[in-house]
């Protein structure tokens, strides 16, 4: 399986705080990889280094074998890394389809010459992307009136407009109701399967993680303490201890399905 993303000894210190400490991992093509850990474990700091918002104190990041350590967010985005945020990033005053059209215009580097005709450009492709996330029926609605779960699906369509090789999703289901969470992650899993995109996501809801992740990495106090399959992580006493504060046992697969 080809390696899409690799970190080697990734480390970030803020003064005396080592937020991410010597983290090494690989993410393969078509993999849905979860990065979990308690509050303050270093997940966002790790993401920000992968996306270029933060420069590592030490260590390296490789994308498709190329060293992208310290490159700017724009350069990393240009190389095919998309990102969705905890707080959705859409233009509220524009319609759903216009948001996707703008992403396609940007992807095709047509921003300045396109503006007078923007509403006519890439409509078919935009509709295809909206269909992919189940939003085609809402194409002409303004983003300002969308339900939160729909905004998250739109954000996914916008990210896909850039045809990413790798998608970084920082708490994609934050603020969503449980049923919406499962639906959004199912959609993400379908996209990973159908398009061969690789996804790295952070998530606090363990049901979502266990239901959808192909593999799980666990950070605690900046250190990667476990990296394995859903079953390995579910049954790892160290993970249960540090992640949920000890004494807590994750639900088994059968119990989770019954819940
Ligand atoms: N810009 C910064 N300056 C100083 N310390 C920081 C900075 N950003 C993060 N930290 C510290 O680094 C550690 C890791 O924080 P980070 O936000 O990466 O954790 P997290 O796992 O994403 O947490 P959460 O789940 O709460 O979002 C914390 O101790 C945090 O206080």
Q: Which long-range contacts (CB under 8 A, 24 or more apart) does 108-116 make?
A: none
* Domain chopping of the chain, boundaries: 3-80+164-258, 90-163
Q: What is the DSSP letter of 57?
A: S
127: number of CA atoms within 13 Å, CB side?
7
pLDDT at 251: 57
CA of 13 to the centre of ligand 1 (A): 10
Three-state SS for 216?
strand
CA-nearest residue for atom 29, ligand 1, is 40
Place of tokens 């935009």: 126
Three-state SS for 203?
coil
pLDDT in tens, 58-105: 999 999 999 999 999 989 988 999 887 655 666 777 899 998 998 888
The DSSP code sequence of 171-194 is STTTT--HHHHHHHHHHHHHHHHH
Tokens of 174: 């934050």
pLDDT at 254: 59
Tokens of 91: 């233009």
pLDDT at 248: 47
Pocket probe for ligand 1: among 10, 16, 36, 41, the residue whose CB has the most ligand atoms within 8 Å is 41
* Rounded CA separation 91/84 (Å): 14
From the alpha carbon of 42, which atom of ligand 1 is closest?
Answer: 18
Tokens of 147: 């339900």
Cβ of 44 less than 6 Å from ligand 1? yes
pLDDT at 174: 84
CA of 219 to the centre of ligand 1 (A): 12
* Rounded CA separation 88/101 (Å): 17
Q: pTM value?
A: 0.87
What homologous superfamily does CATH list for 3-80+164-258? P-loop containing nucleotide triphosphate hydrolases (3.40.50.300)
Query: What average pLDDT is seen over the chain?
Result: 87
pLDDT at 247: 47
pLDDT at 195: 87
pLDDT at 252: 55
CA of 105 to the centre of ligand 1 (A): 34
Confidence check: pLDDT of 213 > 70: yes
CA of 43 to the centre of ligand 1 (A): 8
Query: What number is the average pLDDT over the span 195-207?
Result: 90
């Amino acid at each position: 399986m080809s390696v899409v993303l690799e970190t080697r000894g990734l480390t970030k210190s803020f003064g005396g705080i080592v937020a991410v400490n010597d983290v090494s991992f690989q993410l393969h093509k078509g993999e849905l990889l979860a990065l979990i850990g308690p509050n303050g474990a270093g997940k966002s700091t790790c993401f920000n280094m992968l996306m270029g918002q933060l420069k590592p104190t030490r260590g390296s990041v490789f994308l498709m074998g190329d060293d992208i350590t310290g490159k700017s967010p724009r350069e990393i985005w240009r190389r095919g890394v998309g990102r969705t945020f905890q707080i959705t990033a859409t233009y509220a005053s524009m319609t759903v389809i216009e948001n996707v059209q703008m992403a396609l215009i940007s992807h095709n580097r047509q921003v300045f010459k396109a503006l007078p005709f923007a509403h006519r450009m890439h409509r078919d492709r935009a509709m295809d992307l909206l269909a992919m996330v189940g939003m085609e029926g809402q194409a002409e609605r303004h983003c300002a009136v969308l339900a939160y779960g729909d905004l998250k699906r739109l954000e996914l369509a916008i990210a896909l407009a850039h045809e990413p090789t790798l998608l970084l999703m920082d708490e994609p289901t934050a603020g969503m109701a449980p049923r919406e969470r499962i639906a959004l992650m199912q959609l993400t899993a379908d996209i990973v399967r159908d398009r061969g995109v690789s996804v790295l996501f952070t998530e606090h809801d363990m049901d979502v993680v266990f239901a959808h992740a192909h593999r799980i990495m666990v950070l605690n106090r900046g250190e990667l303490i476990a990296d394995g399959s859903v079953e390995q992580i579910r049954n790892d006493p160290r993970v249960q201890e540090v992640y949920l504060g000890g004494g807590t046992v994750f639900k088994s697969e059968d119990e989770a399905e019954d819940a």
